[in-house]
Amino acid sequence: MTEAVRAALRAQRIELPSWAFGNSGTRFKVFGQRGVPRTPFEKVEDAARVHAFTGVAPTVALHIPWDRVDDYSRLAGFAKELGVGLGTINANVFQDDDYMLGSVTNPDPVVRRKAIDHLLECVDIAGQVGVRDVKLWFSDGTNYPGQDSIRARQDRLAEALQETYDRLGDDQRLLLEYKLFEPAFYTTDVPDWGTAYAHCLRLGPKAQVVIDTGHHAPGTNIEFIVAFLLREGKLGAFDFNSRFYADDDLMVGAADPFQLFRIMHEIVSADALKAEAGVAFMLDQCHNIEPKIPAQIRSVMNVQEATAKALLVDRDALTGAQQAGDVLGANAVLMDAYNTDVRPLLADVRREMGLDPDPVGAYQRSGYTEKIVAGRVGGQQAGWGA
């Protein structure tokens, strides 16, 4: 069994978000950090470092227009030279002044057209760089009761999704993300998994749901949603992060490592860890106050540790106890795996992959931080606005 676990850990893939390397913050303040990238190329450089030290993060998701470049092939080529590739294309229809009252659900058809055109552009970019997934998250919604028709906005949403779906190539997918609230404070047009699921079902097999672990109401059982969508064949991807309150976007596993383990347990139970299962695992975080590259490395490691524990669950013993109605016994089987210290196992796996067993330490010793702090002086640091 151990070798199977090791093999699964070696084969795991976690996508990095380009924007995690730029500055981020809250509405109160974005604190700039030294050495932060100024361009998509520099973001890719940083992401490549994370992969160099972890070995399981070989792709970088892009955010359009934050990562807009003249020539995406050049960016892809640059990434390839650094040992990584481009990943999911994330559309952004929330930062133009026209989108104040919504993008694809805006009451104004001119604004809707503009927003849909952006979505189509994203599909095209994905096509150009040979990327499978286009991820859509909409900040659309309303702040005040009565502000707009909930139903009319669904009609407009359905229209926009259909047109985007129709543009997809044979091997492409549309990933639809939901979020309870923020930036809209009364209604959000895709607030929960049910809404995303219903739209994806109608669109067809190339439309799948994205679970962002920070986008739920308090008390929501996320692993239930994972299990349910897997059963329905509709789970397309994760945006990993963690939260204590709302969409805090902290490092995955930092706020509730047991929840992350339970999620990975559902993934492993449904045999959905391997690439063929079609579930993409991405980070989507904001390192507002901590240095970004080691935070990404740590996040990758947190996912690895949760995965390793999930792989160690004695599934036969678990099923046996479950079927016998042995509540404490079944829970104990799960907790045995969770309580295991998997860091030695992962250190071994890293050695097998030719990596330093201590990725954070190795990164710190590499001198990369000093290099970018010294080198990236002047220019406009990347952030959510650019």
Q: State the first-to-last Cα distance of the chain, in angstroms, to the nearest integer.
A: 47
Q: Where are the alpha helices (DSSP H) in the chain?
A: 2-11, 40-54, 72-81, 109-128, 150-167, 193-203, 222-232, 257-269, 292-312, 315-323, 327-338, 343-352, 359-366, 368-375
For residue 290, the tally of other CB atoms under 10 A from its CB is 14
Contact (CB, 8 A) for 363 and 19 = no
Contact (CB, 8 A) for 93 and 103 = yes
User: Binder to a copy of itself among 63, 135, 167, 298 (CB under 8 A)?
Assistant: 298
User: Binder to a copy of itself among 101, 277, 362, 386 (CB under 8 A)?
Assistant: 101
d(CA 130, CA 138): 24
Q: Which of residues 331-370 bind a copy of itself (CB under 8 A)?
A: 331-335, 338-341, 343, 360
- Asked if 294 touches a copy of itself (CB under 8 A), the answer is yes
SS3 382: coil
- Asked if 185 touches a copy of itself (CB under 8 A), the answer is yes
Quick one: which segment of 56-64, 168-176, 317-325, 366-374 binds a copy of itself (CB under 8 A)?
317-325
- Asked if 47 touches a copy of itself (CB under 8 A), the answer is no
- Asked if 266 touches a copy of itself (CB under 8 A), the answer is yes
Contact (CB, 8 A) for 174 and 168 = yes
In angstroms, give the least distance from the CB of 47 to a copy of itself. Answer: 18
Quick one: which segment of 81-89, 125-133, 318-326, 374-382 binds a copy of itself (CB under 8 A)?
318-326
d(CA 380, CA 15): 25
User: Binder to a copy of itself among 1, 4, 110, 328 (CB under 8 A)?
Assistant: 328
d(CA 324, CA 77): 56
Site string for a copy of itself, 142-161 (x = CB under 8 A): -xxxxxxxxxx-xx------
In angstroms, give the least distance from the CB of 74 to a copy of itself. Answer: 29
For a copy of itself, how many residues bind (rule: CB under 8 A)? 107
- Asked if 41 touches a copy of itself (CB under 8 A), the answer is no
Quick one: which segment of 66-74, 121-129, 217-225, 374-382 binds a copy of itself (CB under 8 A)?
217-225
User: Binder to a copy of itself among 192, 277, 348, 358 (CB under 8 A)?
Assistant: 192
CA angle 242, 372, 381 (to 5 degrees): 65
Q: Which of residues 122-141 bind a copy of itself (CB under 8 A)?
A: 139
Q: Which of residues 103-122 bind a copy of itself (CB under 8 A)?
A: 107-108
Quick one: which segment of 39-47, 65-73, 168-176, 192-200 binds a copy of itself (CB under 8 A)?
192-200
User: Considering beta carbons, is residue 124 or 348 the nearer one to a copy of itself?
Assistant: 348
Quick one: which segment of 82-90, 93-101, 112-120, 160-168 binds a copy of itself (CB under 8 A)?
93-101
For residue 346, the tally of other CB atoms under 10 A from its CB is 19
- Asked if 100 touches a copy of itself (CB under 8 A), the answer is yes
In angstroms, give the least distance from the CB of 348 to a copy of itself. Answer: 16
Looking at the DSSP bridge assignments, the partners of residue 62 are 89
Q: Provide Rg for the chain, Cα atoms.
A: 21
- Asked if 303 touches a copy of itself (CB under 8 A), the answer is no
Sheet with 16-17: strands ordered across: 16-17, 59-64, 85-91, 133-136, 173-177, 207-212, 235-240, 280-283
Q: Which of 30, 16, 27 is nearest to 90 (CA)?
A: 16
- Asked if 320 touches a copy of itself (CB under 8 A), the answer is no
- Asked if 319 touches a copy of itself (CB under 8 A), the answer is yes
Q: Which of residues 223-262 bind a copy of itself (CB under 8 A)?
A: 223-225, 227-228, 230-232, 243-246, 248, 250-251, 254-258, 262
- Asked if 194 touches a copy of itself (CB under 8 A), the answer is yes
d(CA 26, CA 15): 24
CA 109 to chain CA centroid, nearest Å:
31
User: Binder to a copy of itself among 56, 119, 279, 330 (CB under 8 A)?
Assistant: 330
Contact (CB, 8 A) for 250 and 295 = no
